[in-house]
Amino acid sequence: MVIVRSVIFNIVFYLNLTAYLIVAMPTLLLPYRYLLGVARAWARSNFWLLRVICGVKADFRGLEKIPRGGLIVASKHQSIWETFALLPFVDEPTFILKRELMWIPLFGWCLWKAGMVPVNRGARGPALAAMTERAKAEVDRGRQIIIFPEGTRRPPGAEPKYKYGVAYLYAETGVPCVPIALNSGLFWPRRSFRRYPGTVVLQVCDPIPPGLEKTEFMARLQYVIETASAQLVEEGAAEIMARAEARARP
């Protein structure tokens, strides 16, 4: 049943994305808040599809800890799930993302309109400076910069590989950083079409105030995210085990 439901979900997921992209096209001529409204509706529709088709629920904890105004949101990255999960809960999100995504027809146009911050991963130093300059401009407008500090998806339990960019961004913008922990990789694994039933938990941790030295900030950020994510993975694994035991009972 997992395979059948996963196939159905993946087909419906991309059809749904295409439909929302078409709906979003007229908003390219309007203020970006209209596009943001469409994006939030798309995110909520994904929650519904996951729950109805695959039995994947979502539990958001600590959302009240996200302050208003300019800040950095640094999230653990295990799955595609978190790329849309925060949209309904962050006032004016701006993602740090690889520039190749901006070249995708329709989807990339929406990213440009929404003021996302592209990064040329091959340029290193110049790319970091350009990213920071764009991010600072968005923060000055009161927007929230969402970044995945490891740069790519990592499976649950994998050794963390945090990159320096988030510390540089934190130091240059001078705004608080909100760490996000999660266990999405248990239920929506990277590089897999399967979606497993259970509860994805996203936990907002206490904001890190501005002003820390970069090394201290990096150590604190990694400790907070990894400690909380490990607890959520353990919680999710226990749920998976309980489900397996329930199915095995006569």
Q: What is the pLDDT along the chain (250 residues), one digit of tens a residue?
A: 899 999 999 999 999 999 999 999 999 999 989 999 999 999 999 999 999 999 999 999 999 999 999 999 999 999 999 999 999 999 999 999 888 888 999 999 999 999 898 887 666 677 788 888 889 999 999 999 999 999 899 999 999 999 988 999 999 999 999 999 999 999 999 989 999 999 999 999 999 999 999 999 999 999 999 999 999 999 999 999 998 888 887 7
Report the distance separating Cα 53 and Cα 64, nearest Å: 29
Position 69 in a domain = yes
**Ramachandran category for residue 129: left, alpha or beta (phi over 0 → left; psi -120 to 50 → alpha):** alpha
The answer to whether position 46 is within a domain reads: no
Q: Average model confidence (pLDDT) for the chain?
A: 93
Domain carrying residue 187? 57-248
Total tally of structural domains belonging to the chain: 1
Is residue 48 in some structural domain?
A: no
Residue 224 lies in a domain: yes
13 within domain boundaries: no
Return the sign of the alpha-carbon dihedral for residues 11, 232, 226, 213: positive
Alpha carbon distance 80, 2 (integer Å): 18
Question: Is 113 part of any domain?
Answer: yes
- Written as six digits, the tokens of 164 are 């320096």
Give percent above pLDDT 70 in the chain: 98
- Cα 160 to Cα 217: distance, rounded to the nearest angstrom: 16
In a domain, 31, yes or no: no
Element (H, E) at 200: strand 198-204
| pTM of the entire predicted model | 0.92
Evaluate whether residue 36 is within a structural domain.
Answer: no
How does pLDDT run across 213-232, given as a tens digit for each residue?
999 999 999 999 999 999 99
Strands 71-75 and 144-147: parallel
pLDDT, tens only, 14-58: 999 999 999 999 999 999 899 999 999 999 999 999 999 999 999
